[in-house]
Amino acid sequence: MSTYLIRRVGLSVLAIWGALSVVFLILHASGDPALLMAPAGADPAQIAALSHALGYDRPLGVQYLAFFGDALRGQFPDSLQFQQPALEVVFQRLAATAVLAGAALGLAVLGALAIGFGTGARRVDGSHREWPMWLVYLLQAVPNFYIGVLLVWFFGVVLGWFPTSGATEPASVVLPAIALAAGVLPPLARVFRTSLRTELARPYSRTGTALGMGRGRVVRHAAYGSLLPTITVLGLEAGALLGGTVIVETVFSWPGVGQLAISALQNEDYPLVLADLTFLILVFVVINLIVDLAYGVLDPRVRHKG
Amino acid sequence: MSTLLEVSGLNVRFPDTGVLAVRDASWQVPAGEVLGLVGESGSGKSATGLAVLGLHGPEAVLSGSIRFNGEELLGAPEARLRELRGSEISMIFQDALDSLNPFRSVGAQVAEAYRLHHPVRKAVAKQRAVEMLDRVGIAEPHRRAKDYPHQFSGGMRQRVMIAAALINEPSLLIADEPTTALDSTVQAQVLELLADLQREMGMAVVLVTHDFGVVQEVCTNIAVMYRGRVVETGNTRQVLQDGRHPYTRALVASVPTMQDEPGGTLPTVREVVTSLVGPIDDEALADPDLRIPEGREYESGLQPDDALTTVVDGALLLSVRDLSVTFPGGLGKPARDAVQGVSFDIAVGESFGLVGESGSGKSTISRVVTGLQAATTGQVRFDGAELSGMSRRSLSRRIQLVFQDPYASLNPDRTIGDAVGAPLTVAADGTPALSRAELRRRVEGLLTEVGLDPELADAYPDQLSGGMRQRAGIARALSVEPALLVADEPVSALDVSVQAQVLNLLVELRRKRGLALLFISHDLTVVRHMCSRIAVLASGSIVEIGDSADVLGTPQSEHTRALLAAAPDLERVG
Amino acid sequence: MIQTPQQQTRRRPVGGIVGAVLLGLIVCATVLAPLLAPHDPLAQDLLHTNAAPGEHGYLLGTDQLGRDMLSRFLHGARTPLLVGVLAVLCGGVFGTALGLISGFARGWWDQLLARLADIQLALPSILLALMVLSFGGRSTAVLVLVIALTGWPAYFRLVRSRVLALRQLPYVEASLLGGLPTWRILLRDLLPGVRGLVAVTATLDLSRAVLMEAGLSYLGLGAQPPNPDWGLMVAEGQGQLLSAWWIAVLPGIGLVLLVLGANLLGERLSVRRVAAS
Amino acid sequence: AVTQGPADRARSSSLVIGLSSSATTLDPMNTTSVGTDLSVLSSVYSSLVIRQPDLRIGPSAAMSWERVAPTRWRFHLDPRARFADGSPLDADVVVWNIQRLVNKGNGLRMTSNFPDLKGAEKVDASTVDLLTSRPSPNLPDALSMLFLLSPQWTETHDPAAEAMGSGPYEITSYSPGGNIELRARPDYWGPKPAIGNVTFRVTPSQSAQVSGLLSGELDAVAGMDPQDLDRLRADRNIAVQQLDTTRMAFIKLNTLTGPMQDLRVRQAVNYAVDKRAIADSLLKGSVDESPGQLLTKDYTGYTPGLQPYQYDPQRARQLLAEAGYGPGKPLNVQLSLPSGQYVAAELVVQAVAQQLREVDVNVEIRSEPFAVYMQKYLKENAMPDMQYITQAWPTLSADGLYGLFVSSSPYAYWQDKTFTDAVTTARATEDVAGRDALYAVAARQAREQAPVLFLFPQPGIYATAKGLSWQARPDDWVRPADMAWTEGER
Ligand SMILES: Nc1ncnc2c1ncn2[C@@H]1O[C@H](COP(=O)(O)OP(=O)(O)OP(=O)(O)O)[C@@H](O)[C@H]1O
Ligand SMILES: Nc1ncnc2c1ncn2[C@@H]1O[C@H](COP(=O)(O)OP(=O)(O)OP(=O)(O)O)[C@@H](O)[C@H]1O
Ligand SMILES: [Mg+2]
Ligand SMILES: [Mg+2]
């Protein structure tokens, strides 16, 4: 278990380092950020001075090291748009995204479990419902933003049931959460259903029946085994979820880190992009680390290894 | 004695695939007795066993009658079946690893089996479970109850499974090949345990198996299945020694035994049947009413060939000296010494056997010899040359391997001809590349040699049966005309009836080509049949090596004796 | 309850057929758009803007600039399809090749590539794409590359793990023993073994690529106006949902059908694949 | 949704204003966007003078002012003026603020609006002089955008993230990019605002603005899209105000490089575009086409009587042919626009591009984030052949807006001696008639030389809940202090 843990943490650190390097390189391939920071009409000398003050005139390698030094200490230059420490800006937006992502994740997981049980576990008479899966296929085919647009149109405009923009009241979260959940639910539902079927088809489920367990009990035991692959997919989908927040938050003007990323990119707010992406990457990798560790806790075979 | 379970006219059909798994099967088990249900793979043994407990899914259509203590089970309500399952009738399955829930401790699983039928508190059930684990021979049951299945060995897992199945003291146990996945010594222990418990509890057992040796040891009665039909039932001794149905007789005849003269041609099922009732197709053979005509006996065609089994004093071909192989441990995994200080020689044209239990290092040695695995220390010389110094290509001209699993040894995306011909397309040094037509001719020649229709060159592996694939694999190995053929358990995945054919083929090839053979198996009878010299391997080291007759006749090591004792052997009436 | 592999093939095959038909129709419509479309998709009729479907002879209405929605709809799959197919090709070939080599060679090479894939996966793909497109310039080529870039790890991981399993198989070892050179083993034994897997992944990847193209176009970083592109059209019509819902809603339906088609087909292929292996 | 409607809000004296984009900073000297940042901040901070709803300059922290010398303005501060923390807004405060502003090292965005301001001198506690480097008659106009910080407070706080001013409101909740909530200061020294609680809610999307208004979630939104006019007018509970803004929309042509160096091409594109049709259909007739003018009527120095370029594609083709372009050799140009920045810009640009395409001018549209667009425009001097832009000058003087077109201006991309001379001379001319004559020369020259593709003023469409009384204004200010709920409605 401990070597497993060390190995996992090591890989995560590696992934974070690599991903941040990529971000750093892409940003630096685009030229001198000082040009952006300087006020309009600044002459080249001023820009050079600013560039020097911020260290953008150092060799790339030095900047690279400095960047990691700063990133480790959570220090990023001030956001150009907001003129505040970039990481602070990100943190201020954090709660909104956490609420949205949490709500969406809850919705998606509940929906996926319901659909998975409904279609994955056949009843004793062999009948099973397929139609919820069609819903899943359909959801899977609908782009995030389109779901958002349709929800705004129908529930916001036509029916007027929910607010369609911003995070002003508890009901505001409903539509964006649905839009975001719609993207995450299909893979979860599918993997849960498939693995439930696989587990039910495995000999131990048959053993359960042979020992006199009822159908419900057999399914319950099988569901535990199906959770593991589902959690793995959940970890992978964390990426999709974070990516989804970018689009969904834009559609619904939800004041979270996703929308912040877009606006920072659009305004070429270089420090903010760095801070925001660093943060998102960190979250993604940590989620996956947690998933891996959850695996270690939930699966006795992993738990006892090494 | 009263009849406990009576199966009559049972049919199991799978409409989706159109398979009639069981046809009009009838047999019965008296209370407290053991019935062996035997037959080759796919003959419907499991389908019958599952039918008794109503464990078939909705995709199976059942008809006929299954009476347990006079109560009709077929069509009984699910609730009633659930009551019976695990308490009155229990079932254990072949693969113990998968039959236990990997996510729950074994104690919890056994306890749950108890609680399903007894309304007791958890602690009480736990206590019962620990007692039961103790009874099936798990040491330190209290501590081990908290462990998970993967922390147990195969035999232990099967014991746990037995504990769960028997904790409610059922009157009937259906054991579906409970020991086939286990080592022969472990197999013997588990069977012994089953037999003990059967006597103690006085329960009846239906033992599903394809191993006549096992049947002979533990079963009072036997039912032989073929193509979904029960072709013969009766007292074990009588059926095995004097089967009235030609199929039964043929099946028994094709198993090599310790009494046979080694090295001869084994009778195949087809041969025996033909000699008994004349040419007949499979379907007609499955007719339960078919009987061997009075006075007809199979004329044993065994012609022992001394030249093949006696020790040859040919030139040294392969010499293995102090071979050790250690698999490096990964993160948190200890390194593993798979082979330690093994030395042996094989002479030109000699047939050398390697026996040992699972994990004793047999395959590792075969892989080192064929160059698939590097030796950690020690040396392997082939024809005087150091093996590690030979290129893959030149090595491949001299030594070839026949694999255990005929299904995985052929690329499903390539034709048989392509697979067999591939080594030929690698031009040997100095020889010109073969033309297309020449290649085809050579491939057809090889196929004919191993007894396959040359037309099959264009077939894909999935169109071939296991036996045919194994022949194709042998043809591929022969294509480069090697001097040494390594066969790693070449028949253990095959049915007895097919096993005889492949063994016969190997014997014949040796005779014709003068091939040297390194034959690996865990089955003593088969090794004895094939080899003139054998080495017994135990945890990576050779514990005994010598002439086949000496080693098996007067075993010197404890280990060999255990192996011999565990091998259930069929006593055939001469 | 026993389930055998046969049972999984028993799934009704409608899905696959529906998927194939949907994809086929969309591809046909896109190829034949210049013939089928009643108007130039760029032509504006400023007198009849925001016409409802059926008004003024416009079957699906017009958008804010009076452009014929039907013609734009028919042309709208071109960019997603083109970008999608190219991205899938690039990502698929790249990922598969690396997966084959990585799985067969093992060792540090393999570790390096596997870690690269991990790193790639740690970057949320839409953000990576946004970043490249904002800072690295916008063009169809960059779009294709960035979508391919975010797609290759899927192929790589699948192919690699499959090859790791395959290379232990006796038939691969038989080829080794037969003295075949590595490249032949890669091509004749391993590539066919992953072929089906790659086909399935590619079909599903196509829908991912299309979704991503649409998402980026929606955010203004993909197709540029006045291009008729479904994702862009949704973004353009979004402000008009109250008065002219069809501008945003119709192209979205096109996207859903396209992705649904690819998914259903991919699903079907993968079921086949499971049954065959 | 269970939101409060306007009626409830009228009762509780609260108000929700829709903002098209969030405030980027709370530092009033580090932003120049009137519509968002400054509108919010003008409620929290006070300036020396203020531009009133009638567009005239009126008193705020300064009760009166006079020009004591050509380069010296004197301001008499209101002795009651106090910051929220109780400290007085006195001459020292003003001096400190002016120093903060003119110090280029601070890199404040507002600094560039005060090119002539040199510094400030304290006369006595409530009198202060502002010094300019040359005569600057329009200084008070510019000062209406300069809000004053408290020096002591600024030492210990980050003005970008917090605010403490001397205005009628104080901020109760703010996060970057999020909504902003204001509460009326009970101890405000000036006239009490009518509305107690104000929320600026960020609603960037057009449809969210409209549905917010319709559902009663929003009480006031400025800068609505003309496409929504019909819809809004149809609703009984919404009042729509529509006027021309002081922003002129046009497509700037890069006369320094590329095909637009050729006057014939510049005129051709002007002839090729049917401004009338675009204004009528896309802007729902909310504006009139520009008579070939860079200014709108609200500017001092506006020259009446100019004629617009008529829509004449034939003429355009002919001019293009003379310049060497035609069907065989189409002209390819790039046209950039900042995404989501200007009202209806995306549509207008596409319509223009399509009309140009009809005279064989192929336009490649590039929509760019505003920051990128501005960077190319001003810092890299790499404006594409054409770019959509709207321009206004807060002082509403021809001098200011025309200043963006003189040869030396980085905004101009046009070097015209006649125009530049006329504008520069006018600047130094004190006599109004003479100045207007000079501006007329400049206006004619601009029309003739066509450094831009003339379009129309940016439409100003304001929607408010019925019952909210507020005079919409052509400059972009949206000040809650000017608003009030009228009794008896709803
Ligand atoms: N669920 C099923 N669906 C369709 N066919 C099945 C199913 N289960 C078994 N069969 C078929 O029924 C036949 C008998 O199968 P069964 O498992 O009873 O054989 P067996 O005698 O137990 O063989 P083995 O020794 O290999 O276990 C086979 O042809 C098998 O393919
Ligand atoms: N690649 C490997 N890495 C680590 N350990 C291995 C590897 N291959 C085999 N071993 C270990 O080496 C030992 C010998 O294995 P080997 O396969 O040679 O046994 P075997 O006698 O052929 O057994 P079986 O009868 O089960 O085939 C076993 O304990 C096995 O776990
Ligand atoms: Mg079976
Ligand atoms: Mg082995």
**Across the interface, do D1 and A267 touch by the CB < 8 Å criterion?**
no
- At residue C135, the pLDDT reads 75
Q: Which residues contact C186 (CB under 8 A, 6 or more apart)?
A: C100, C101, C104
- Minimum-distance ligand 2 atom for the alpha carbon of B336: 5
- At residue B328, the pLDDT reads 81
Q: Which residues contact A63 (CB under 8 A, 6 or more apart)?
A: A28, A55, A56
Q: Are C160 and C99 in contact (CB under 8 A)?
A: yes
Amino acid at A194: T
Stretch C238-255: mean pLDDT: 87
Q: Are A255 and A92 in contact (CB under 8 A)?
A: no
- At residue C6, the pLDDT reads 35
**Closest CB from A210, A221, A300 relative to B91:** A210
Taking alpha carbons only, the member of C69, C63, C224 closest to residue D281 is C63
**Every domain range in chain B assigned CATH 3.40.50.300:** 300-567
Q: Which of A215-219, B285-289, D305-309 has the lowest mean pLDDT?
A: B285-289
Taking alpha carbons only, the member of D208, D180, D172 closest to residue D37 is D180
- At residue D4, the pLDDT reads 64
Beta bridge partners of D17: D200, D220
Which range of residues forms the domain containing residue C240? 5-31+67-276
> Å from D465 to nearest chain C CA?
18
Q: For chain B, list residues with pLDDT below 50.
A: 573-574
Q: Are B317 and B485 in contact (CB under 8 A)?
A: no
Is there an atom of ligand 1 within 6 Å of B174 CB? no
Phi/psi of residue B215, each to 5°? -55, -45
Q: Which residues contact B56 (CB under 8 A, 6 or more apart)?
A: B12, B47, B50, B62, C1, C2
Read off the pLDDT band of C10 (50, 70, 90): very low
- At residue B496, the pLDDT reads 79
Report CA dihedral (B462, B463, B468, B474) to the nearest 10 degrees.
Answer: -50
The gap from C-alpha B573 to its chain's centroid, in whole angstroms, comes to 24
> Å from D61 to nearest chain A CA?
27
- Minimum-distance ligand 2 atom for the alpha carbon of B367: 18
CA-to-CA separations, B272 to B254, B277, B278, B292, in angstroms, rounded: 8, 9, 9, 11
Beta bridge partners of B22: B12
**Closest CB from D108, D371, D410 relative to A267:** D371
Residue C55 lies in a domain: no
**Across the interface, do C46 and D230 touch by the CB < 8 Å criterion?**
no
**Across the interface, do B17 and C192 touch by the CB < 8 Å criterion?**
no
Report pLDDT digits (tens) over A39-91.
555 666 767 777 777 777 778 788 888 888 887 787 777 887 777 888 888 88
What pTM was computed for the model?
0.82
Residue C105 lies in a domain: yes
**Closest CB from C46, C220, C243 relative to D367:** C220
Phi/psi of residue D172, each to 5°? -105, -20
- At residue C2, the pLDDT reads 29
C176 in contact with B at a CB cutoff of 8 Å?
Answer: yes
Stretch D255-275: mean pLDDT: 93
Provide the 8-state DSSP code for B462.
G
Q: Find chain B residues with C-beta within 8 A of A299's C-beta.
A: 102-103
Is there an atom of ligand 1 within 6 Å of B45 CB? yes
To 10 degrees, what angle do helices D263-272 and D345-358 make?
A: 110
Tokens of B179: 């020991």
Q: How far apart are CA D452 and CA D260, in angstroms?
A: 10
Alpha helix positions (H), A211-299: 215-251, 257-266, 270-298
pLDDT tops 80 at residue C249: yes
> Mean pLDDT highest for which of A168-172, D84-88, D372-376?
D84-88
Number of Cβ within 10 Å of residue D468's Cβ equals 20
- At residue A42, the pLDDT reads 60
Tokens of A9: 């943490």
- Residue minimizing CA distance to atom 25 of ligand 2: B358
Ligand 1 mutation target, pool B14, B40, B229, B231, most atoms within 8 A of CB: B14
Looking at the predicted complex, does its ipTM rise above 0.90? Answer: no
pLDDT tops 80 at residue A125: no
Residue C166 lies in a domain: yes
**Residue whose tokens read 């120093």:** D99
Q: How far apart are CA D307 and CA B503, in angstroms?
A: 106
Read off the pLDDT band of D146 (50, 70, 90): very high
Task: Give A 108-137 residues with CB within 8 A of chain B.
Answer: 122, 124-126
Number of Cβ within 10 Å of residue C206's Cβ equals 27
CB contacts < 8 A, A to D, total 127
Q: How far apart are CA D399 and CA D404, in angstroms?
A: 9
- At residue B569, the pLDDT reads 66
Report pLDDT digits (tens) over D24-52.
788 999 887 777 888 899 999 999 999 88
Q: Which of B340-354, C10-24, D361-375, D426-440 has the lowest mean pLDDT?
A: C10-24
Number of Cβ within 10 Å of residue B212's Cβ equals 27
- At residue D220, the pLDDT reads 92
Supply the CATH number for residue C221's domain: 1.10.3720.10
Q: If residue D348 lies in a helix (H) or strand (E), which one and from where to where?
A: helix D345-358
- At residue B388, the pLDDT reads 81
β-strands D62-69, D72-77: how paired? antiparallel
The full DSSP string for B157-185 is: HHHHHHHHHHTT--SEEEEESTTTTS-HH
Stretch D327-335: mean pLDDT: 91
**Structural domain count of chain C:** 1
Beta bridge partners of D49: D59
Residue C95 lies in a domain: yes
- At residue C70, the pLDDT reads 92
3-state secondary structure of D277: helix
Report pLDDT digits (tens) over C182-204.
888 898 888 888 888 888 888 88
Q: CA angle, corner B248, sides to B242 and B254, nearest 5?
A: 100
- At residue A126, the pLDDT reads 59
Beta bridge partners of A86: none
CA-to-CA separations, D118 to A53, A142, D91, D381, in angstroms, rounded: 26, 60, 16, 28
Residue C211 lies in a domain: yes
Is there an atom of ligand 1 within 6 Å of B47 CB? yes
pLDDT tops 80 at residue D428: no
Q: Are D15 and D476 in contact (CB under 8 A)?
A: no
Hey, CA dihedral for D231, D234, D240, D244, is it positive or negative? positive
Residues in chain C: 277
Provide the 8-state DSSP code for B570.
P
- Minimum-distance ligand 1 atom for the alpha carbon of C2: 1
Give CATH superfamily name and number for B300-567. P-loop containing nucleotide triphosphate hydrolases (3.40.50.300)
Q: Are D137 and D300 in contact (CB under 8 A)?
A: no
Q: How far apart are CA C261 and CA C245, in angstroms?
A: 24
Read off the pLDDT band of A222 (50, 70, 90): very high
How many CA within 13 A on the CB side of residue A50? 19
Stretch A97-121: mean pLDDT: 90
**Across the interface, do C189 and B411 touch by the CB < 8 Å criterion?**
yes
Q: How far apart are CA C79 and CA C140, in angstroms?
A: 9
Alpha helix positions (H), B431-557: 436-449, 466-478, 496-513, 524-530, 548-553
- At residue D242, the pLDDT reads 86
User: Whole-number mean pLDDT of chain A?
Assistant: 82
Greater confidence (D236 vs D166) lies with: D166
- At residue C9, the pLDDT reads 38
Q: How far apart are CA A247 and CA A144, in angstroms?
A: 7
- Residue minimizing CA distance to atom 30 of ligand 1: B42
CA-to-CA separations, D280 to B436, C43, C237, D222, D226, in angstroms, rounded: 79, 18, 20, 21, 10
Report pLDDT digits (tens) over C61-88.
888 888 999 999 999 889 999 999 999 9
pLDDT tops 50 at residue A147: yes
Residue C213 lies in a domain: yes
Read off the pLDDT band of A306 (50, 70, 90): very low
- At residue A127, the pLDDT reads 61
Taking alpha carbons only, the member of A42, A193, C198, B243 closest to residue D379 is A42
Q: How far apart are CA B369 and CA B525, in angstroms?
A: 24
Is there an atom of ligand 2 within 6 Å of B335 CB? no
> Å from D21 to nearest chain C CA?
15
Tokens of C86: 């190219």
